[in-house]
Structure formats: structure tokens, C-alpha cells
Structure 1
Amino acid sequence: MGLVGGILLVIGTCIGAGIFFKSERVLQNMGGNTTLALLVWLMAGITVILMGLALVEITAKAAFDDLALLSWTQKFTNNTFYKACKRFLIWIYLPTTFFFMPLYLVQSLQDGLRGFGVANHFNTPHDWAIWMVIVLLINLWFFFTSGLSVKWTSVQNVVLLLLKVIPLIAVVILALWLGASAEQMERQPVVPVKDFTAILPFFGWFSAMGAIFFAFDGFYVSAAAKTQLKKPKKLPQVMLLGLGIVVLIYSLIALSVSLTTPNGAFSGLGDWLKHKKLGWFFGVLNLLIALGVAGIINGFVMWTGKLTQSLIKSGELWVPDKCKLCLNKPKPVVGLIHAGILMVLTTVALSSLGGLLYLPKVNASYDGKGFKSMGCLLEFADLIATWTSVGIFWFLGLVLLGGLLQIKKPKRWYFRTTGWLAVVVIGLTTLVVMVQPFVDLGIAVFNRSYERIVANTILIAILVIIVLVMFFPTEPIKLRLWRKRIQAMEACGEDCDACVEY
């Protein structure tokens, strides 16, 4: 693969539909200031480019295999962070991704139906449960196709990749058309918000960056381009140009949408197209965006099966002995079953929390009149998506920090500069995103806002659960179980099958 092919590979692994779901939140966090919103998009993009360049040195020192980030964490951090990364990927990142990513697909589908003038809801107080079942069916489709067949994965990936490029180009053209039109939509005044981001602009800046990281989630996989290049030495140029093009595209879309719609939301273009009697075109765009999200799920399922299967083979994850007989088969059946069970349990649990208990003021366009369960679920899923993306970037920051401390003589002169800049920005962003729900809870209590109190309490509880899952010491429990097994064998007097099974 030459230079151009490598750049296209980087673009293909990075670019997605995240820009359409995060532009409004970023503008809100920046107080409606379009200039600041564009600057924060650029800053986040530059941070990703710096990380990509620094990871070139990391991949040169560590193996790039199915474990990817986990292998880097094992080499450049200590055992505590390695175990935390493993638990985060298996028990948090993978199952929650199969929760919020299909919901983004559903959100685009609902926007598309609204563009066609068709009801985009079931007009019940329990729409969240109906859509949850649809989410599970979407996941199962990809588990049974992409998860079990490389051919299916490739075919679906090519088709969906081509389709998701169309809305990226179309949105820029539409926004520029609207911007040049004399019929620009009236800007809505920004309503002051009483939350964390209103205290100091500093907080809103890094909170917005946490949301933007979702749009670049998965970029680090592009470091694998070195295995495909005819001249691996050109990887820095490939990363710089590829990621630079993605940042340029994202910034152009964010600027276009922010300048030409009332609230900085992609849905604002739909109102303008509807006024032009072109609502059907907005419907088509959203259906294409939904297919783009499906493409992300398609590739993610394949990686999930391989990652889980690799950890099971190495003894990092427990499965019944009978299941281990299937580990040598070419298809990662055991890994997919393990991930599938977690996917179902997590989707049901988080959907119930978001649809029933998470009660912020939400966009009512996803529910029937008088209902808001689906709007609450989508808002909740959006926050979970931001947290998991920040978690991935936090571990990448740890890997870079470990590399900066361990690699005494880097081969690339820019490694230390890019690495330290990326580590500082990621550290500040992670700190702000983790502190935000605690400050928001205090503000909600002061303002006696019951809905916000409940919502932020749920977020804090989930954050605590994530931290416990990552760092809770399991060795004492394993030691206790091992001692019970030894005692049972000693009481039996021989290594009988029953004792060994116990």
C-alpha cells in the first residue's frame, strides 16, 4: 500500500457519524459562541493528531495484535493499570458501546422518518422498551453476520463505508447553500444554563472536548497502517495527513452547521429543508447516517469477537471447560457468546435506567405528545458514550505517559513534544468530565431541581461502578476460592473428578 492508500485507510478508520451527534452539545458547552466551538473542535483534533504521531513510536516498541490498546498498556504501564484496562474494555467499553451505538442508529432513523413526514415514535410512555428490543435485534444481526464471517464483514464494510461518505459531503453543501441564501434561519438566543459549564469557561471547554473525543473514538487503530505500507517509514506522514483531513472535514461540518442552524444542531437543517419542501431529502440523509453508524457496529463486532477470544485463550477470562474445546476453531464463537451475554444484560440494564429514571429536560421530538422516555434514553446514552470515549483516551494517555518515561532514546524527534502535549490535554479533559456530575449535583441541590438531582445521582453512581469494576481487588477472592478447592481435595483424599471440577 502506497502513501495515498495509507491516508485513505487512516481516514476510513477514523471518520464516522459522531460529528452529527456532538455538534449541538459542543456549541451548548461553549455558551453558543460559534468561534469558541470551532476552536475547541480544532483543539481536540490537534490533540488527536499529536496522539497519533506519538503512537507511531509506541507501536514501534510494542506488538500490534488483536489486543491493541491492552498490549500497549501491559508494556508501558504497571500491572494495576493493565488489569484496569482489561476490565474496562471487557466489562465497560465493549458492552456499553453495543448499548449507545445502536441507539445513535435509532436516533438517525427517527430523524429520517420525521423528514419523510412519518411518525417516528410508537406514541406510548414505554417507547424506550420497544426501541431497546430493536437495538438488541440490530446487535444480534451483526453478531451472527460480521462476528462469524469475515466475508460478511468485508462486504458490509465496503457498502456502508461508501454510503456514510455521502451525508458528510451533502451536509457541507447544504450548510453552505443555506449560509449563502437570503433566507437564513433566525438564530435562537442562547439560554443561560445553570450547570457545571456555566461556572467558568475553562470547564465548558474541556467538557466539550470530552464530547468531541467520541467523534474520533477508534482513531488509534489507524496506527496499524504500518503493517500495510510498502514503506513503513512513511507512517508519520500518513498519520499527519490522514488525521489532518479528518479534522478539516469535522471542523468544516461543525462550522457550517453551527453558523446556519438556530441551535447548532444537525436537525436544524431539517427544518430549513422542510420549509423548502425538501424534507424527504433530510430523511434520506439521516437514513444514510444510520447506515454509517451500522458500519461502525459492523467493524466493532469483528474486533470484539477477536479481543474476547484472545483473552479467553490466554486465561484472562473465565469460561466453562466445555467451551474451551471450541477455542481452536477459526471463528471466535466463544468470544462472541461471552460478549453477547454481556451486551444483552448491559443494554437491558442501561436502557431501563435511561428510560425510567434519567429525567433531564430533553428533546421531545423522539416521543409522542406528552411523553419523553425515548428522549431521556437518548440523552443518557449520549453521556455514557462520552464517558467511555474519555476512558479510552485516558488509557491512551497513560500509555503515552509510560512511553515517555520508559523510552530513553526515541527514534522520532517529535515523540516527546507531541506525547507530553497530548498527555496534558487528555489529563485535564478526563478530570473535568469526571468532576462535572458532582458539581452539577451540588448546583441542582442548591436550585432544588428534583429532575437534575436524580439524573446526576444516577451518573455519579454509574461512574463509581465503573471505577470499582476497574480497580476493585479480586485477588483475595480468587485466593479464597483456591483455598476452598484445596481443602475440598484434601478432605476427599484424592484428586477425584468432583474435586477438580469444584
Structure 2
Amino acid sequence: MGGIFINQNKSYGLWTATAMIVGICVGSGIFFKVDDILTFTGGNVFLGALVFIIGAFSIIFGSISLSNLASISTKTGGIVGYFEDFYSNKLASAVGWFQTFLYYPTIAVVVAWASGIYTCLLFNLPNQLDLQMGIGFLYLLFFYLINIISSSIGGKFQVISSVIKLIPLIGVGVVAIFFKQAQPEIPANVEPVQLTNVGIGWLAALAPTAFSYDGWAISLSISNEVKDSKKTMPLALTIAPIIVLFVYLSYFLGMNKILGPEYILSTGDGAVMAIGQLLLGRSGEIVILIFILISMLGVVNGVALGHIRMPYALASKEMVPSAKKIVTHKKGFLGNYSAMISLTCAIFWFGVHYLTQKFHLMATGDISEIAIVFGYLFYSILYVKVMMLYKEKVITNFFTGVVSPTLAMIGGLIIIVGGFSSNPASMSVFFIICLSFCVTGYLFYKNKH
């Protein structure tokens, strides 16, 4: 089978677009976020739920805001197309270079590596970086190649993996409604952690929680391949964030109802395995690990699905070198130049990530976090444009034209400030790297035209 020709067929519907947003946002992180949130809130369940709601501002109101642009934009490339339509081609090129050569591949690489970690846990393999990275590299290659070979296979896997990963998250919430047993005792070999009053310290939980919702904008890269895109994408951008928030709250409240906040605080990440054993018996831990792994692979697939289209989108706008060659599709696997560029880029960043982990070049975090934080600067610029379009009466709905972008910018600010405060040294260095990609893209288009 030959490689796909990007932008040839309207092969995606509402559910694939929605599943892409849900599938990328809901990764493995949520499984291990409950104890972290409770630690920040001193075990206060109400404040924990509030943190999830506020943390969702970036995706719920951000996606609602950009749905305005999705309904009126005529350009391809998602975020890049919006900058092209509503700002300038030079700025669109800057954003495109950042997304194509930095944002997409770093997220795919880090999640593929994490998938390798959980594969080792699932099969009781040695906890070695080289083995984890080796397995992660195979996952990375597999999902890029699957999406290069067939857009329909990648789209179907995205829908299936999104549904599968929601089963345990929603299931915990549903079981909690009917759960009548006493909450389990804290294990004797675990030191109990008591509930405390943290004052305003709970606000520190907002940044890491907001990261749990990131990745939603990647779905915009397939908008030109979605059937009836001007109606479908705004609908998907509205439905998906609500599903994600509902799923997160269901899991968080369910965990607290079944185990109790003191148990979760005391056992930490072990609470995830504990609830698996409590509900499913001795095999529960394995079942939970399988769900976590599927969750992560769904993220890798979703990012790959979006990434392989980006070089084509930029080439169609003459924003990259050898544009004519990239948009000219030749029969055969290697003829899909856009996908080959994306895959090569992902492999390069996989090598960079390996070196940063092997030689401890980053004290905390990973290379994807910096790109995520930097990306919210661009989103904020688009939110400003939405408000400008409302002022110009192009957008007439006050909620989607003013309220949503304002709240989305607040959510974005939380992520930006939280990201820099968590790792200021690494953030500063990689911020410059992100900026250099943008400047290169900007100058390339300026000089060419």
C-alpha cells in the first residue's frame, strides 16, 4: 500500500476528531495525579476537585475560543492556518516551524519513552534506561509508520484507544457510587499522612494539573481532512474538553470515595495499584498497567497522526525549503516526503531526549514540557485575535468572543508561570531554543517572499 497523500480525502468524522482531542489529553498522567493533587490541598477533596476544574480552563475555554477561528478560517494546518488567516504569513511560518520541528516530536518522543517504562513494569523487565528507551523507540517507529501507511488505521486506533482508556477512569467513578464497603486500612509498613490545612498553598497544584489537559490543539492539524470541517471541528472542540473534565472528576472523586484521602496521601502512586487489587483481585495491578499503557500509546498515535501532516501543510504555503518536492506525492512508502521529514525529526529528538536522561542534563522535567509552555504563548496571541474579531463584530457571541478567551488566557498564564517556576534554568535555555526555531521560520518566509 502506498503512503497517504495528505489533504486528499475527507476521511475523518466528528468522533475521530473528538477522540483525537480526548486521546491526546487523557494520557497516563491522570492515573497518578490524584495523590499529587491531594498533597497540595492537604487532603481536601473539594479543593482537589476545584483544582481540576480551574486547571481545565486552558482546554475548555481555549478550545471554545479557537472554535470561532475554526468556523471561519479557510487555511490548512490548524494553528498555523489561523495565524496565516488572522495575522501574517511570516508569523504563521514561525509558528509552523516551532510546531513541526519541536512541539510535536518532543511530545511524541517523551510519551513513547514513558510507554517503554510501563512496558517494563508490565512484563517485569529490568528498570534500565537503555531498555526503556529501546522499547519506546520501537513504539515511536510503529505508530509513525502505521499512520504513514494508512490514515484510516491511525484514526481507528485513536478512537479505540480513547474508548479503552476511559473505561477504568469512568469505571472507578461509577463503582464508587455503589461502593458500600469500608475504606481500606493504611498498610502497616506505610507511614500515615494526616489531613492538613494548607491555606492558599493549594494554588500550587494548578500548574501540574493544567499540564494534564495539554495536547488538544494538535487535533486542529487534521481539520482540513475532517468532513464538513467548519461545523465538525467547532463541535469536537466543544464536546471533547467537557468529556475530559468529566472523566478526570469521575476518577478523582471515585478514588477518594473508595480509598479515602488519608489512604491515598499515605500510599502515593501505590493507590492506583491498590484500587486495581481492591476491585479486580490479585490481577488488578496488571489490568491497571495495561490500561495505562494503552492510554500512553493512544497519545503517541494521536501526536504522530497530526505530526506527519505538518511538513506538507507548511510546504503547501511555501514555508519550508524544497516545498514543491514535499507537496509532490510519489507512489510508494518513501514518496511521502512530509511523513519522512516528521519521522526523521522525531528520531532526532529521541536522541536528544536519550542524552538528557542518560547524562542528567535536565534536573527535573523533560524536553516536552518546555515546548508545551512555549506553545501557550502562541495560543494567547490567538485568544487576543478572537477578542479583536468580537470587537469588529465578526464574532457576535459575547461568551465565545470575550469570556472564553479571557478565561483561556488565565489558564495559559497558570501553565506558563508554573512551568518556569518548576524548572527556571532548563526553561530559560530551552525557551531560547524554541525562540530560535520561530525566528528561523519567520526569516525563511520573509527572505523567500
Per the shorter chain, which TM-score range?
A: 0.7 to 0.9
Which position in structure 2 is the counterpart of 1:156?
157
Q: Which of 322, 327, 330 lines up with 2:329 in the alignment?
A: 327
CA distance in 2, matches of 1:60, 1:320: 27
Which position in structure 2 is the counterpart of 1:373?
none
1:31-70 counterparts in 2 under 5 A?
Answer: 33-63=44-74, 65=76, 67-70=77-80
CA distance in 1, matches of 2:139, 2:415: 32
- The answer to whether structure 1 residue 74 and structure 2 residue 91 are counterparts is no
CA distance in 2, matches of 1:476, 1:152: 35
SS of residue paired to 1:327: coil
CA distance in 1, matches of 2:99, 2:216: 13
* 1:242 Cα deviation from its structure 2 partner: 4.6
CA distance in 2, matches of 1:55, 1:233: 13
SS of residue paired to 2:167: helix
CA distance in 1, matches of 2:361, 2:300: 25
- The answer to whether structure 1 residue 430 and structure 2 residue 416 are counterparts is yes
Residues 29 and 111 of structure 1, relative CA distance in 2, 3 Å threshold: farther
CA distance in 1, matches of 2:429, 2:229: 49
Question: Is the 1:22–1:211 contact (alpha carbons within 8 Å) kept by the matching residues of 2?
Answer: no
* 1:246 Cα deviation from its structure 2 partner: 2.6
CA distance in 2, matches of 1:161, 1:474: 36
- The answer to whether structure 1 residue 463 and structure 2 residue 448 are counterparts is no
- The answer to whether structure 1 residue 400 and structure 2 residue 383 are counterparts is yes
* 1:399 Cα deviation from its structure 2 partner: 0.8
Q: Which of 344, 347, 362 lines up with 1:344 in the alignment?
A: 347
Where in structure 2 are there 5+ consecutive unaligned residues?
Answer: 1-12
CA distance in 1, matches of 2:423, 2:315: 35
Aligned Cα root-mean-square deviation (Å): 4.1
Residues 235 and 184 of structure 1, relative CA distance in 2, 3 Å threshold: farther
1:304-383 counterparts in 2 under 5 A?
Answer: 304-319=307-322, 324=326, 326-327=328-329, 333-357=336-360, 380-381=365-366
State the TM-score, normalizing by the size of structure 1.
Answer: 0.70
1:239-258 counterparts in 2 under 5 A?
Answer: 240=238, 242-257=240-255
Residues 75 and 205 of structure 1, relative CA distance in 2, 3 Å threshold: farther
Question: Is the 1:105–1:293 contact (alpha carbons within 8 Å) kept by the matching residues of 2?
Answer: yes
Larger radius of gyration: 1
Which position in structure 2 is the counterpart of 1:212?
212
* 1:72 Cα deviation from its structure 2 partner: 1.0
Q: Deviations over 1:135-154 (max 9, x none)?
A: 11111112222222124324
Question: Is the 2:56–2:411 contact (alpha carbons within 8 Å) kept by the matching residues of 1?
Answer: no
Q: Deviations over 1:447-500 (max 9, x none)?
A: xxxxxxxxxx44543333223333468749996xx9xxxxxxxxxxxxxxxxxx
The amino acid of 1:253's aligned partner reads Y
1:93-492 counterparts in 2 under 5 A?
Answer: 93-113=103-123, 119-122=124-127, 127-172=128-173, 180-185=181-186, 188-189=192-193, 201=201, 204-214=204-214, 217-218=216-217, 221=220, 228=227, 232=231, 240=238, 242-257=240-255, 259=261, 261-262=264-265, 265=268, 267-271=270-274, 273=276, 278-319=281-322, 324=326, 326-327=328-329, 333-357=336-360, 380-381=365-366, 384-407=367-390, 408-409=392-393, 410-414=395-399, 415-438=401-424, 457-471=425-439, 475=443
Higher relative contact order (CA 8 A, sep 6+): 2
CA distance in 1, matches of 2:331, 2:154: 18
Q: Deviations over 1:399-440 (max 9, x none)?
A: 1112212441023232212222222332343234224423xx
Where in structure 1 are there 5+ consecutive unaligned residues?
Answer: 114-118, 193-197, 361-378, 439-456, 483-502
CA distance in 1, matches of 2:184, 2:429: 47
* 1:389 Cα deviation from its structure 2 partner: 3.2
The amino acid of 2:375's aligned partner reads I
SS of residue paired to 2:321: coil
CA distance in 1, matches of 2:233, 2:312: 32
State the TM-score, normalizing by the size of structure 2.
Answer: 0.77
Provide the identity percentage. Answer: 14
SS of residue paired to 1:138: helix
Question: Is the 2:56–2:210 contact (alpha carbons within 8 Å) kept by the matching residues of 1?
Answer: no
CA distance in 2, matches of 1:299, 1:272: 28
Residues 313 and 473 of structure 1, relative CA distance in 2, 3 Å threshold: closer
Residues 276 and 412 of structure 1, relative CA distance in 2, 3 Å threshold: closer
